[in-house]
Amino acid sequence: MNIVLTGASGFLGSEIVGDLVQVEAVHLTAQGRCEKRLLALADRFSDCRRKLSLQRSDVREPAPLPDRADVILHAAALRSPSSADPDELYDTNVEGTKRLLEAGLAMGCRRFVLISTQAVYGTDGAPWSEDAPVCPKTPYAISKREAEKVVLEADGLEIVVLRLSRLYGVTPLVRWGEIPGRLARDAGRGEPLNIYGTGEQRFDLVHVRDAARAVTRAALGPLNRDKSLYNVGGGGSYTINEICQQIAELAREHGLPPVVVRRDPAHPDGTYRHLELRVDKIRHDMNWEPRVSLRQAMEEYIACVAQTRVM
């Protein structure tokens, strides 16, 4: 089976590469726009060279696809704050998806998997199931919802859309600037953990290794229908306070300085939020289950910062 993966040089994409190169019957063409990261992937998976081809490509100016692709996994996207240029987001996330889909149809690709986001649901009404109303509120979320429409309206191939909750986890491309990585990094530096508002905001966290497994299942497994939409989350949600409590316990176990929590109740991000996906459907249809617990993931973060102390 020949698979093309876009966004291979990203946080999630690089973990998908690691999963797929272990599948004997797969040859993977992994596309990414960062040459340095592609070289790092080549080194990381050097023992899988016969199964892996790396290709520098940008969805706005894509490199030619290989002569044959049975499955396209579209993980490339422009991630950005709400203040980003909507036109750039549209060109990358919507038009880029159109171009890739058209190329796949032209070559007779049989399945197209789009990586989307829980942000299409908005911020109200959680926990969300797949039939919940969508209400994207940021330019990024709007662009991803438009990309979903592009693929779900396509005919001639199987479509899978995966809506992912917040990705986290320690990998070579760990996101230290985002929660919970930022909090773990601050604990390793002996800095206060800054909490906005009450700390009772709830986040759905899915470990990047679990998300990669879901994408692999979507690529290789049988489908119940030609067009499928699945949530991919951690199976629940956690408050900022709960995350900080685990960090404090683990920091103590690893000999880090005592954790100090500093609260800012007046910060605009302190308003109560509840972000959570229901994952019953993907559990039933694909026999997928999140495996990495918050405790295990935070143990990896704290062990990492305890070793380095300089991130």
Domain boundaries, the chain: 2-165+206-232, 181-203+236-308
Residue 311: predicted pLDDT: 47
Q: Which fold has domain 2-165+206-232?
A: Rossmann fold (3.40.50)
For residues 293 and 301, what is the distance between their CA atoms, to the nearest angstrom? 13
Structure tokens at 39: 């070289």
Q: Do domains 2-165+206-232 and 181-203+236-308 have the same CATH topology?
A: no
Residue 224: predicted pLDDT: 82
Query: What CATH number was assigned to the domain covering residues 181-203+236-308?
Result: 3.90.25.10
**SS3 call for 59:** coil
Smallest CA-to-CA distance from 164 within 116, 210, 212 is with 116
For residues 295 and 126, what is the distance between their CA atoms, to the nearest angstrom? 23
Q: Which residues neighbour 102 within 8 Å (Cβ) at sequence distance 6 or greater?
A: none
pLDDT per residue, tens digit, the chain (311 aa), is 999 999 999 999 999 999 999 999 999 999 999 999 999 999 999 998 899 999 999 988 888 888 889 999 999 999 866 556 888 899 999 999 999 999 999 999 999 999 999 999 999 999 999 999 999 999 999 999 999 999 999 999 999 999 999 999 999 999 999 999 999 999 999 999 999 888 999 999 999 999 999 999 999 999 988 999 999 999 999 999 999 999 999 999 999 999 999 988 777 666 668 999 999 999 999 999 999 999 999 999 999 999 875 44
Structure tokens at 284: 């039933």
Q: Please name the amino acid found at residue 246.
A: Q
Separation of CA 81 from chain center: 16
For residues 265 and 278, what is the distance between their CA atoms, to the nearest angstrom? 30
